[in-house]
Homo-oligomer: A and B are copies of this chain.
Amino acid sequence: MAGARPKVVIVGGGFGGLWAAKALAKSKVDVVVIDRQNHHVFQPLLYQVATAVLSPGEIAQPIRRILHNYKNIEVVLGEVVEVDPANKQAVLGDGVRVSFDYLIIAAGARHSYFGHDDWETSAPGLKTLDDAVEIRRRVLLAFEMAERDAYLQNRKRQLNFVVVGGGPTGVEMAGAIADIARQALAKDFKAIRTADAHVVLYEGSDRILGTFAPELSDSAKQQLEDIGVEVQLKSFVSEIEPGRVKVGEDWIDCDVVVWATGVAASSLGKKLGVETDKAGRVFVEPDLSIKTNKDIFVIGDMASIKQADGTPVPGVSPAAMQMGEQTAKNILAELDGRPRKPFEYNDKGTMATIGRSKAIAEIGKFKFRGFIAWLMWLFLHVFFLIGFKNRLAVMTDWFWAYLTRERSARLITGKAEHMHDAIEFLQAARSRDTRSKSKTTV
């Protein structure tokens, strides 16, 4: 490096990258955060954008904005596609090389389609703001098309929503769709009863939210069923086509499918030349560096590391934040001639929300369910939302939604072509729906 100040390059402005950057702020190193997007997304609330409770702007902030007070931190919009450990450079999509003394890779993970990447068009996942806006568009369009058919053609039909995967995202999505169908949308549609919409959650294992205590899984299932969600356990989705999914041997017709299972870490992990697990997560050393190069760290959802009790550190945002902070501290310690410390995950408890006033939480030995768990969830998430302005707006929106059961973010956006694609897609699904129905009745 030309300058006297060591340079830390951080790939990704998610929780891991951002917390690493903040811990390096005002220190003796120069920091560059590189992200494909210009904004940090508060992922735990993505499902609220997908169900039109919140607007995209309420759960996202420009990374540049979050870090603008720190003179030693620069933010660059770009995609790191390769790492050149020998020359200590990160390579961007257009070939530009960024030199580093230390590299922190925090590029996150997406959902995995288990080799069926073609399913993504029919069953989008929920990892980015664009994913959320796309799912919102599909959910709202499904209701619009049903209303249109009922009003213009006097053709009533069942609306079906399918969520694949009973982890936190799947449970949140299923609960939130059921919520808006029963509450927020009910008054606005006149030819259909939105509350009649059917939401099914398919989970492969024998309980949902498998990382929680079994009694909380049971409670979550009951809470989902209370708001009308059908929960199907030990059910594997084996095929997906536009407008229907195959579960076991049966094809199930549906208007919208949301994919919420599987983990595929950023492909950058596999390019490092070190061992990864099946999901593409890098097996990291105790200090989160990679085996072949102690100046390259992999953190967050991309890292595979075990806790003292042998269980893996979960892919949740608190873990990513802690890894980011620890890595920053280790770099600064080393520059001061002190040894690095191994990473230890401090589990402060986990919670999952199910719907309005419904949630579960597990904090050490304590277990909470229902309204009290939901309140805990609410305050924790609002508290963590980055930036005072956002916190205020989200609070207002939630409070408003709670009082009036309305939704303020219900816009279907997208280029006209996309809209037409979506309409054709829904029509194709419907006409098959009609065909299969007539087949049954004939």
Listed in ascending order, the chain A residues whose CB lies under 8 Å from chain B are: 32, 36-39, 55-58, 60, 62, 64-65, 68, 71, 74-78, 92-94, 96, 98, 129-130, 133, 140-141, 144-145, 147-148, 151-153, 187-191, 389-390, 392-393, 396, 400, 406, 408-416, 419-420, 423, 427
Q: In the complex, which residues of chain B have a beta carbon less than 8 angstroms from the beta carbon of A423?
A: 94
Since A74-B151, A130-B416 are in contact, a sample of 20 more A-B pairs with Cβ atoms closer than 8 Å, ordered by chain A residue number, is: A36-B416, A37-B412, A38-B411, A38-B412, A39-B412, A55-B57, A56-B413, A57-B57, A57-B409, A60-B411, A62-B188, A71-B190, A76-B151, A76-B152, A77-B144, A93-B420, A94-B423, A129-B411, A393-B393, A393-B408
CA of A145 to CA of B141, assembled, Å: 35
CA of A187 to CA of B62, assembled, Å: 13
Shortest CB-to-CB span from A45 to chain B, Å, is: 15
CA of A117 to CA of B83, assembled, Å: 43
Q: In the complex, which residues of chain B have a beta carbon less than 8 angstroms from the beta carbon of A409?
A: 57
Q: In the complex, which residues of chain B have a beta carbon less than 8 angstroms from the beta carbon of A147?
A: 75-77
Instruction: Name the one of B58, B74, B393 contacting A191, with C-beta atoms under 8 angstroms.
Output: B74
Q: Which residue of B lies closest to A424 (CB)?
A: B94
Whether B416 lies near A68 (C-beta < 8 A) is no
Q: Which residue of B lies closest to A68 (CB)?
A: B188
Dominant SS at the A interface? mixed
Q: In the complex, which residues of chain B have a beta carbon less than 8 angstroms from the beta carbon of A56?
A: 55, 411, 413
Whether A140 lies near B191 (C-beta < 8 A) is no
The verdict on A39 contacting B411 (CB below 8 Å), with A74-B191, A76-B148 known, is: yes
Instruction: Name the one of B36, B96, B152 contacting A96, with C-beta atoms under 8 angstroms.
Output: B152
CA of A144 to CA of B33, assembled, Å: 13
Instruction: Name the one of B71, B389, B419 contacting A408, with C-beta atoms under 8 angstroms.
Output: B389
CA of A412 to CA of B62, assembled, Å: 9
Q: In the complex, which residues of chain B have a beta carbon less than 8 angstroms from the beta carbon of A64?
A: 188-189
Q: In the complex, which residues of chain B have a beta carbon less than 8 angstroms from the beta carbon of A152?
A: 76, 92, 96, 98
CA of A414 to CA of B130, assembled, Å: 6
Whether A130 lies near B413 (C-beta < 8 A) is yes
Shortest CB-to-CB span from A408 to chain B, Å, is: 6
Q: Which residue of B lies closest to A67 (CB)?
A: B188
Whether B415 lies near A130 (C-beta < 8 A) is yes
CA of A188 to CA of B408, assembled, Å: 30
Q: Which residue of B lies closest to A149 (CB)?
A: B96
Shortest CB-to-CB span from A123 to chain B, Å, is: 17
Q: In the complex, which residues of chain B have a beta carbon less than 8 angstroms from the beta carbon of A416?
A: 36, 130
Whether A190 lies near B74 (C-beta < 8 A) is yes
Q: Which residue of B lies closest to A73 (CB)?
A: B190
Q: In the complex, which residues of chain B have a beta carbon less than 8 angstroms from the beta carbon of A145?
A: 77
CA of A423 to CA of B129, assembled, Å: 19
Q: In the complex, which residues of chain B have a beta carbon less than 8 angstroms from the beta carbon of A60?
A: 411
CA of A143 to CA of B57, assembled, Å: 19
CA of A58 to CA of B412, assembled, Å: 14
The verdict on A96 contacting B130 (CB below 8 Å), with A68-B187, A411-B57 known, is: no
Whether A411 lies near B140 (C-beta < 8 A) is no
Q: In the complex, which residues of chain B have a beta carbon less than 8 angstroms from the beta carbon of A415?
A: 130
Whether A38 lies near B410 (C-beta < 8 A) is yes
CA of A406 to CA of B98, assembled, Å: 30
Q: In the complex, which residues of chain B have a beta carbon less than 8 angstroms from the beta carbon of A129?
A: 411, 413
List 12 A-B residue pairs with CB atoms under 8 Å apart, sorted by A's residue number: A36-B416, A38-B410, A38-B412, A39-B412, A55-B57, A71-B190, A77-B412, A78-B148, A389-B406, A390-B408, A393-B396, A393-B408
Q: In the complex, which residues of chain B have a beta carbon less than 8 angstroms from the beta carbon of A148?
A: 76-78
Whether A36 lies near B74 (C-beta < 8 A) is no
CA of A62 to CA of B408, assembled, Å: 9
Instruction: Name the one of B36, B140, B393 contacting A38, with C-beta atoms under 8 angstroms.
Output: B140
Q: In the complex, which residues of chain B have a beta carbon less than 8 angstroms from the beta carbon of A36?
A: 416, 419
Shortest CB-to-CB span from A7 to chain B, Å, is: 12
CA of A260 to CA of B169, assembled, Å: 43
CA of A188 to CA of B32, assembled, Å: 14
Whether A133 lies near B413 (C-beta < 8 A) is yes
CA of A58 to CA of B153, assembled, Å: 34
